[in-house]
């Protein structure tokens, strides 16, 4: 069946302007109404600059999280590109396991002085005494230092996490 302007109806309800290429409703919506196209720079600034999540950006701008992620994708920004900024932003920390040396107060990261002492010791053991990760873990156990769970048990992966986060910072 012929439609206005040379387009034709396709049995599933789509309309095509060309005989070999079907048009989808999403194509029509994308080209006719794009409510956040002008907000691209603001979305990128909020996501990368302020370290907000896609859901938080969407809530502030009144658009969906999916729309924010789609716009970021078209700008060439992937979720991983700003993950570091969002994950270390002390005003926007949402992970369940806190980094060693911090505690959470009202959704914000605050330095935990007791754990920071241990972090300084780990960095000192590795940098100054040239111990391996496992050697530093053994030293912590020999000094009878308790971990976050109250156990005197340390593992090289726990020490690595502390060292990677705090080396050069304390």
Mean pLDDT of the chain: 79
- CA distances 80 to 33, 45, 84, 140, Å, are 29, 16, 8, 34
Task: Note the pLDDT tens digit of each residue in 92-142.
Answer: 667 778 889 999 887 788 899 999 999 999 999 999 999 999 999 999 999
Band (39; pLDDT cuts 50, 70, 90): confident
- Highest-pLDDT range among 10-14, 45-49, 63-67, 116-120: 116-120
* Least confident among 13-17, 68-72, 132-136, 137-141: 13-17
Report if residue 93 sits inside a domain.
no
* Least confident among 64-68, 118-122, 144-148: 64-68
More confident residue, 111 or 7: 111
pLDDT at 121: 97
Claim to verify: residue 9 and residue 83 sit in the same structural domain: yes
End-to-end Cα distance, the chain? 74
Q: What percent of the chain has pLDDT over 70?
A: 68
**Measured distance CA(4)–CA(6) in Å, rounded:** 6
Report if residue 95 sits inside a domain.
no
Claim to verify: residue 83 and residue 29 sit in the same structural domain: yes
pLDDT at 88: 56
CA–CA–CA angle 161, 164, 165 (5° rounding):
85
Among 88, 122, 153, the domain-final residue is 88
User: What is the pTM for the complete model shown?
Assistant: 0.53
User: Looking at the predicted structure, is the pLDDT value of residue 82 above 80?
Assistant: no
More confident residue, 49 or 15: 49
Claim to verify: residue 34 and residue 110 sit in the same structural domain: no
- CA distances 73 to 40, 45, 62, 63, 132, Å, are 11, 14, 19, 15, 41
- Highest-pLDDT range among 21-25, 36-40, 63-67, 158-162: 158-162
Which residue, 108, 125, 116, is CA-closest to 165? 116
pLDDT at 1: 47
Report if residue 157 sits inside a domain.
yes
Q: Give me the mean pLDDT over the 19-39 stretch.
A: 53
- How many domains does the structure of the chain reveal? 2
Q: Which domain holds residue 63?
A: 4-88
**Measured distance CA(52)–CA(102) in Å, rounded:** 20
């Amino acid at each position: 069946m012929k439609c206005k302007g040379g387009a034709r109806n396709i049995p599933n309800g789509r309309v095509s302007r060309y005989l070999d290429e079907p048009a989808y409703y999403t194509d029509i919506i994308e080209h006719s109404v794009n409510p956040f196209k002008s907000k691209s720079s603001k979305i990128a600034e909020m996501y990368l600059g302020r370290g907000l999540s896609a859901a938080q950006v969407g809530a502030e701008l009144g658009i969906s999280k999916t729309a924010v992620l789609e716009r970021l994708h078209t700008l060439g920004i992937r979720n991983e590109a700003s993950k570091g900024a969002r994950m270390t932003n002390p005003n926007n920390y949402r992970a369940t396991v806190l980094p060693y040396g911090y505690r959470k107060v009202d959704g914000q990261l605050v330095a935990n002085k007791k754990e920071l002492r241990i972090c300084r010791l780990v960095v000192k053991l590795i940098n100054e005494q040239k111990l391996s990760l496992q050697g530093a873990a053994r030293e912590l156990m020999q000094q009878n230092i308790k971990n976050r769970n109250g156990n005197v048990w340390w593992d090289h992966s726990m020490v690595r996490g502390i060292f990677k986060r705090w080396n050069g910072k304390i």
